[in-house]
A = this chain, B = another copy of it.
């Protein structure tokens, strides 16, 4: 590995570390969302949401760094479009998790009595753990089987989240909440459901990397 190659190779490794850092942050922010949806006190929720904002900003910076590195590096460990798509998906996951938490206090929704919100927060956390496990395997693509299992798990969690979403919406329309309350809760369900969609997007990119390179 002497000569011109050694000049390039260390640089392209930067992507693995950045993806891993983003995944660590996703686990942190998903955990905080679970705390938010089980926290009855508005002000304590507000404190957690502020902490989530910090994590979301950190992931914005990581995504930005990935895009800058992508612009500078001619040689990349995977297809440029896959790196771009994975970075975008990980960034989107953080954005939607933070948006969901923020909307709960913004709309002054009590999450405690809302099983749809609580179950979806659990689903998001599980999906994020599976995304992180898949990302950790990217560095050496030896354990293909484990990556595929993670991707299948993400898809299954996302399907489950769809069912929770449908049930929550159905219950909402059948309840006697007024239209304003209905619009608020529906929006929170939607944002949370998109967070699991974005986990599936991340899984799909990782699957396509495995198909091409493993």
**Contact surface of A with B, Cβ cutoff 8 Å:** 67-68, 71-72, 81, 106-107, 166, 169-170, 173, 178-180, 182-184, 186, 208, 211-212
Contacts and interface: CB of A to CB of B under 8 A. Distances in A.
A46 to B, nearest CB: 14
Given A67-B208, A71-B208, A208-B71, A182 B182 contact: no
Given A68-B211, A106-B166, A106-B169, 18 more contacts: A67-B208, A68-B208, A71-B208, A71-B211, A71-B212, A72-B211, A72-B212, A81-B81, A106-B170, A107-B173, A173-B180, A179-B179, A179-B180, A179-B182, A180-B182, A182-B183, A183-B183, A183-B186
A83 to B, nearest CB: 12
A202 to B, nearest CB: 15
A186 B184 CA distance: 12
A122 to B, nearest CB: 23
18 contacts: A67-B208, A67-B211, A68-B208, A68-B211, A71-B211, A71-B212, A72-B211, A72-B212, A81-B81, A106-B170, A107-B173, A173-B180, A173-B184, A179-B179, A179-B180, A179-B183, A180-B182, A183-B186
A178 B178 CA distance: 11
A136 B22 CA distance: 35
A88 B186 CA distance: 27
A134 B60 CA distance: 22
Contacts of A67: 208, 211
Contacts of A183: 179, 182-183, 186
A191 to B, nearest CB: 13
A164 to B, nearest CB: 14
A26 B37 CA distance: 41
Contacts of A170: 106
A170 B107 CA distance: 8
Contacts of A184: 173
A184 B169 CA distance: 11
